[in-house]
Structure 1
Amino acid sequence: MNIFFHETNSNKYSINTLTRAVEDIENLKLYFFSNYKDIKNLIKKNDVIAFSFMTHNEDDEKKLAMTIEAEHYGIRLIAGGPAITDKNTDKFVQIFDNLFIGEGEEILRDFISGKIKKIAVNNQHVDINKYGSVSEKYKRFGSIEITRGCPYGCFYCETSNIMGKIQRHKRLELIRKEIEILLRNNFKDIRFITPDLASYGSKDGITPDLKEFNRFVDMVCEIVKGRGRVFLGSFPSEIRPEHISDELCEILKGRTSSKTIIIGAQSGSDEILKKINRRHSVDDVIKAVATLVKYGFSVDVDFIFGFPFETEETLNDTKKLITLLIQKYRARIHIHYFMPLPSTPFENLTPKLLTKELRKYLSSLTSKKLAFGQWENQLGQKS
């Protein structure tokens, strides 16, 4: 069997994980393409074209799938990813031959062995110690997943619903092996995938276990020392604001190449934070930024605009917090526009269009390089 994975900026880490999960299967060859033209003449009858996508790019992926199908007879189109849930399969069944819902490693293995139906749902959470994040066989290198799942269940976010609320941490010896694979293949920047870096080793994902976290950082720094760089708390991970402490910063200080730490505020209004189930306060955000700056880090802070229940009062609270973070702590603001995502409590909400005044405000921050983000593309309108 030949499988061609369509790779985008949004799915490259997922493809790495899926590749590692199936690379041991006999008589299987994997190919990867970003541009359809590169593999157009390689596709033959019975080949499989695989897609994994998020809500924001599902239209582009469906269009590409239809183009490929129109030009090749007898191929099979398969699709998975966060955009596909058990509630919205009608949008995809006319295009794709098989739909995968849930974590994909074992579903893909079952598909290759011929065990699954047209719509395959995995309600069981994968043991991330069974599979890996990189594939030496196929030279698929990138960030290493160390934790999967999130206990918080923010109402706008898919992570808890897709990956579960019980966190699964990768064992230290397996993280060590994956770092060694990267280093011996001249991949020298070591980064990690986790919904909250500080939760590594925590039993409940809510109360940090700094002793276990320190063991993780010690191990990583020991392996990488003199051979590469370690990035902790920067993309593709972040740290929840209430988990930032002097003790955590002491562990990170001088041991990470990350000059900037990412934290999620999402709003400057405690009222909004409660409505979106963030489970931290505005004061937690201020304390987190102040602590990080004290230890010499720069900070990028995420904010979401466009919640339908946003009011002028809550919006003013957010603007005040942004002003404080920029002026006092020189933080940089990462702007997002609310997008209702499938499988979340907010999936049926309608985003609130941003007023001309608010768009002008956000554009001003961006033009002064005080803020950044794809909010205009997400909004679908220019300021």
Structure 2
Amino acid sequence: MDVCFRWMQKNTYSLAALLPLIPGNSIVKKPQDGIMIYSFPTRQKESVFSEVDGSTTDSVYIAGGPHPSGSVEETLEHFDYVVIGEGEETLPELVRALQAGNDPSDVRGIAYRREGNVVYTGKRDPVDLDKYPCFDPEGIRAPLEISRGCPWQCKYCQTPRLFGNKMRHRSIDSIESFAKHYNDLRFTSSNAFAYGSNGVHPQFDKVERLLSRLHSMEGKNIYFGTFPSEVRPEFVTHEGLDLVDKYCSNRTLSLGAQSGSDRILKEMLRGHTSEDVSVAVERCFEHEIIPVVDFIFGFPDETEEDQQSTLKQIKWISGKGGKVRAHYLTPLPSTPYENIVPAPISDSVHKILGKMARDGKLNGNWNK
């Protein structure tokens, strides 16, 4: 059976990691006969489900990624198999079983339907990142994944639910081996400044070991703590910023603030305060680094007063010359907020956000 990965604009990072693990695969933009593999987030689920349901190909459909992993039974209404969580070990084993005509029940880490019932085959242990590539050197490129998992339990976020609440880090040797294929080095991590640590207390000596090794490679531009990674505000210390100054090319830093309301931050279990955000922003400016700060509107029970607190902090950051990305909450499967209805944005806040967006002072998907 031929193996085809369905390429979509939002799943290139997943494909980059998985393509080297399955020989003889193809990348396609529509269903083909054989084994069809999809990876997709919640925002794409309706279009993906519609495509699979309307397909007339002779295919076995496998789904993985954020939405299928978090909403297994819904996904199995459209797909034959779901790979739950990390796919580096599970997906190749499932593909081999299907190609050999073997019983997939022996493959841990998947779910499927049998006689109308959903069968779960059991969890796998977390993967050792050093054993697996973080991109396909011969095909799709993606930023270098340096860490996985998160110790925080933010109620809106899938990361600790999919990858565990213990941070795992790729070794410096492994990162360096992949860095040889890039000129510009960008990274994925739930918190770049947490590299080498437990994710609660930074270990900047380990961050420096990584950055100094990469900096010693000729012709490399290092962009650390920028999109698609971010940095938690309480990790933004002068010690960490000194490392950016010393080793990195970026003069921006991506910060996850999420709300300017301490009540909302506490309720979502974010683990930092609005003051932590303000201090982080001030420290960035002291180092002539522009903070790029993310906020989310629509948390459950969020009042206009909470939204005004967030708006006040947004205006303060923007007024100082920082950049802001504002988003409207998307309830994600497997999170405590999975079934909530996002709070509406008040008219007065919406009006000001709209003007800021038109003036080029705001980016994001807040306009709901």
TM-score of the superposed pair, with normalisation by structure 2: 0.91
Deviation, structure 1 residue 368: 0.9
- The counterpart of 1:192, out of the listed 160, 163, 187, is 187
Deviation, structure 1 residue 339: 1.3
Q: Does the Cα contact within 8 Å between 1:102 and 1:121 map onto a contact in 2?
A: no
Deviation, structure 1 residue 201: 0.7
Match of 2:314 in 1: 322
Match of 1:342 in 2: 333
- The counterpart of 1:32, out of the listed 27, 37, 41, is 27
Deviation readout 1:1-23 (Å, 9 max, x if unpaired)? 42211122321111111123x14
Q: Does the Cα contact within 8 Å between 1:340 and 1:348 map onto a contact in 2?
A: yes
Q: Does the Cα contact within 8 Å between 1:103 and 1:122 map onto a contact in 2?
A: no
Q: Does the Cα contact within 8 Å between 1:80 and 1:104 map onto a contact in 2?
A: yes
- Partner Cα separation in structure 2 for residue 154 and residue 168 of structure 1: 18
Q: Does the Cα contact within 8 Å between 2:6 and 2:27 map onto a contact in 1?
A: yes
Match of 2:116 in 1: none
Moved over 4 A (4+): none
Q: Does the Cα contact within 8 Å between 1:102 and 1:123 map onto a contact in 2?
A: no
Matched, 1:286 2:278: yes
Identity of aligned residues (%): 31
Deviation, structure 1 residue 57: 0.8
Match of 2:351 in 1: 360
Match of 1:49 in 2: 36
Q: Does the Cα contact within 8 Å between 2:307 and 2:345 map onto a contact in 1?
A: no
- Partner Cα separation in structure 2 for residue 175 and residue 212 of structure 1: 13
- Partner Cα separation in structure 2 for residue 258 and residue 85 of structure 1: 34
Deviation, structure 1 residue 167: 0.6
Q: Does the Cα contact within 8 Å between 1:197 and 1:239 map onto a contact in 2?
A: yes
TM-score of the superposed pair, with normalisation by structure 1: 0.87
Deviation readout 1:132-169 (Å, 9 max, x if unpaired)? 11222x42322110100000111110001111000110
- Partner Cα separation in structure 2 for residue 92 and residue 232 of structure 1: 35
The one-letter code of the counterpart of 2:83 is F
Deviation, structure 1 residue 85: 3.9
Match of 1:12 in 2: 12
Match of 1:91 in 2: 74
Match of 2:301 in 1: 309
Match of 2:108 in 1: none
Deviation, structure 1 residue 93: 2.0
Deviation readout 1:170-228 (Å, 9 max, x if unpaired)? 01111111111x14xxxx221111000010011x21111111110011011111x3x23
For the residue of structure 2 that corresponds to 1:83, the secondary structure is helix
- Partner Cα separation in structure 2 for residue 261 and residue 222 of structure 1: 22
For the residue of structure 1 that corresponds to 2:130, the secondary structure is coil
Stretch of structure 1 that moved more, 257-266 or 308-317: 308-317
- Partner Cα separation in structure 1 for residue 361 and residue 348 of structure 2: 18
For the residue of structure 2 that corresponds to 1:248, the secondary structure is helix
> Which consecutive residues of structure 2, in runs of 5 or more, have no partner in the other structure?
98-102, 106-110, 113-120
1:37-186 equivalences in 2 (<5 Å): 43-44=32-33, 47-67=34-54, 69-70=55-56, 72=57, 74-85=58-69, 88-114=71-97, 116-117=104-105, 119=112, 122-136=123-137, 138-180=138-180, 182-183=181-182
- Partner Cα separation in structure 2 for residue 252 and residue 242 of structure 1: 16
> Which consecutive residues of structure 1, in runs of 5 or more, have no partner in the other structure?
none
Stretch of structure 1 that moved more, 144-153 or 76-85: 76-85
Deviation readout 1:76-99 (Å, 9 max, x if unpaired)? 11111111246x433222321111
Q: When the two structures are aligned, how many residues end up with a matched partner?
A: 350
Deviation readout 1:216-246 (Å, 9 max, x if unpaired)? 11011111x3x23211111110111000011
- Partner Cα separation in structure 2 for residue 9 and residue 242 of structure 1: 32
Stretch of structure 1 that moved more, 75-84 or 237-246: 75-84
The CA RMSD over aligned residues, in Å, is 1.7
For the residue of structure 1 that corresponds to 2:134, the secondary structure is coil
